[in-house]
Chains A and B, each alone.
Chain A
Amino acid sequence: MNAIEIKGLTKNFKEKQALCGLDMTVPVGAIYGFIGENGSGKSTTEKIICGLIQKSSGSVKLFGKEHTDPDIRARLGVLIEAPGCFSNMSVWNNMMLQAANLDIHNAEQEVVKVLKLVRMEGAAGNKYKNCSLGMKQRIGIAMALLGNPTLLVLDEPINGLDADGMRIMREVLINIAKSGTTVVISSHILGELEKIATHYGIIRNGKMIKEMTAAELNADCRTYVALQTKDLSRTKAILSCKYSRVEEDEAGYIRVFDTVTPEEIVSYLYENGIVIKEIGTAKIGLEEYYIDLMEGK
């Protein structure tokens, strides 16, 4: 059984079609990295899953049942855009209100537990409006974690978090996924996502263009030879004569993507009178993979 199974999902707004036949499958227990450009339909999909906006057509099933099933919806934890908190209320009171909403019996202990998880126990007495952006994000995540949800939907949860906040979030998400909770997380910080996601879905213009596991991504991410010389433009021109895909990156390295070893490149460039300063092999990360995919490479 899949935690989320979406088939042919469409959503039409007045001016545009936000989703056009989106298919999505999230296995139970996965940390699903949901990636796409701004306006590609990530948030719209997540809002439909959570019942905040209505779909135009298609089917959305959570754990094999309709996404409108009250029994399933009661087990959802959500952080979409900003956390829904009353600004004049304290963090504690906001959390207690959500605990009441979820009908949690031992509310106080549960609130303390989730605040501790996101290292926010010290800020419980603060008014929500006085919290920083990073603190608000952590509160939002703590709120989503209340009541041990079976499915956690997080939209850009690491935005505004500092390095320590990101590390904490990573630990929290990995631990709750281990306990069987399925996590759907959309983020633009792909480097962070790469560290935790077990599955990926890449969306473009309201359509899922690729879904894969972390292992498949790893296999898909090609290795390349990176090198640096004194005359980059000449080197690039020479290499381009022999190899089909030669690129210069922002850091001033030339990348050769063909199936080739550094030794072959060294001897080829030596024959052409080019002295190599540095050479090695590397693998493209999720960010580069995503950019390549978007650019159709």
Chain B
Amino acid sequence: MNIKFERYTFGKRMKSMLKVDFRRMFTAKLFYIMLGISFVVPILILVMTTMMDGSVSVNPQTGEETVMEAFDSTWQIIGTVNSKAASTDTTAISMDMMIMCNINLLYFGLAALVCIFTSADFRSGYAKNLFTVRAKKTDYVISKTLTCTLGGGLLILGFFIGTMLGGAIAGLPFEMVGFNADNLMMCLLAKMLLIAVFVPIYLLMSVIAKQKLWLSLLLSLMTGMFLFMMIPMLSPLNATGMNVLLCVVGGIVIGTGLGAISNQVLKKTSLV
């Protein structure tokens, strides 16, 4: 008996894999919770810091006084303006604090999104269904990277919308000093593209840890921490096409390199 098998091309395989991942990502509560958090966090930060602007807190033990300072501009929560002078300025340390408390925090949230999303495949046993019919592990890696990058991009967008709303509620100025609207768009684009740099890292950690969500989170946050300072440097408020290009190249290089490693991890290790 001669049985003929339909050719299962790369395009066909990717189409079905993306269908599965998109369905899962965009019907999952987790994604909408993360999106909600991304939207609400900038509103809370901007409104609360504005409300507490100028208030003084005293350390009862040392008697040291700390004056709370609000953001001077709405855009500070999106990023900072890169300038050579800033590095020699004495306010550089306080600028670093601003770097920590802004949109860049989403990259840690992204770690949770990628790790929970990926480890659910292994914890539920769904990976068995996937990999039985999917001889090519590359499909899985590419699809997960694309889906999580898109999901992460939407988180950035959510944060941006929240920022606009929060700035308006807090009555903060939307003045653009040292950059213009084009730069702001480039900055957001660069941040979205940087997601494509972080997703392959988190994905690799997730396929290494498989069912162990705690391990994938731990590894992802640790590696993410090392690369955290790269985000404000590559995506300042006065970003240009060069920044975007750098992020695209970074995304492609890291995505391909780490994707290949993830692929090998899946190929060489047991999936159940």
Interface residues of A (CB under 8 A from B): 1, 28-29, 47, 50-54, 63, 68-76, 78, 80-87, 93, 96-98, 100-103, 143, 150, 180
Q: Is the CB of A70 within 8 A of B8?
A: yes
**Which residue of chain B has the shortest Cβ distance to A75 in the bound complex?**
B5
Q: Is the CB of A150 within 8 A of B3?
A: yes
Q: Is the CB of A1 within 8 A of B3?
A: yes
In the assembled complex, 11 residue pairs joining A and B whose CB atoms fall closer than 8 Å, in A order, are A1-B1, A1-B2, A28-B1, A54-B269, A73-B8, A75-B5, A100-B23, A101-B16, A101-B129, A102-B16, A150-B3
Could you tell me which residues of chain B, from 256 to 272, have a CB within 8 Å of some CB in chain A?
Answer: 267-272
Residues of A with C-beta under 8 A to B1 = 1, 28-29, 180
**6 new A-B contacts at CB < 8 Å, known A84-B129, A103-B15:** A47-B272, A54-B268, A54-B270, A73-B133, A84-B124, A101-B133
A contact patch SS: loop
Interface centre among A72, A75, A97, A180 (most CB of B within 10 A): A97
Q: Is the CB of A51 within 8 A of B16?
A: no
Q: What separation, in Å, do the CA atoms of A80 and B78 have in the docked complex?
A: 48
Q: Is the CB of A71 within 8 A of B132?
A: no
Q: Is the CB of B15 within 8 A of A69?
A: no
B contact patch SS: helix
Q: What separation, in Å, do the CA atoms of A265 and B23 have in the docked complex?
A: 71
Residues of B with C-beta under 8 A to A63 = 3, 5
Q: What separation, in Å, do the CA atoms of A70 and B135 have in the docked complex?
A: 5
Residues of A with C-beta under 8 A to B6 = 71, 74
Q: What separation, in Å, do the CA atoms of A100 and B131 have in the docked complex?
A: 14
Q: Is the CB of B136 within 8 A of A70?
A: yes
Q: Is the CB of A86 within 8 A of B126?
A: yes
Q: What separation, in Å, do the CA atoms of A51 and B16 have in the docked complex?
A: 19
**Does B12 sit within 8 A of A, measured CB to CB?**
yes
**Which residue of chain B has the shortest Cβ distance to A83 in the bound complex?**
B125
Q: What separation, in Å, do the CA atoms of A52 and B7 have in the docked complex?
A: 22
Q: Is the CB of A52 within 8 A of B125?
A: no
**Which residue of chain A has the shortest Cβ distance to B13 in the bound complex?**
A70
Q: What separation, in Å, do the CA atoms of A97 and B13 have in the docked complex?
A: 14
Q: Is the CB of B124 within 8 A of A71?
A: no
Q: Is the CB of A76 within 8 A of B125?
A: no
Q: What separation, in Å, do the CA atoms of A79 and B269 have in the docked complex?
A: 20
Q: Is the CB of A84 within 8 A of B128?
A: yes
**Does B215 sit within 8 A of A, measured CB to CB?**
no
**Which residue of chain A has the shortest Cβ distance to B125 in the bound complex?**
A84
Among B12, B13, B23, B128, which residue has its beta carbon within 8 angstroms of that of A78? B128
Shortest Cβ distance from residue B200 to the other chain A in the assembled complex, whole angstroms:
22
The 3 closest A-B pairs by CB, nearest first: A84-B125, A103-B16, A84-B126
Residues of A with C-beta under 8 A to B134 = 70, 73, 101
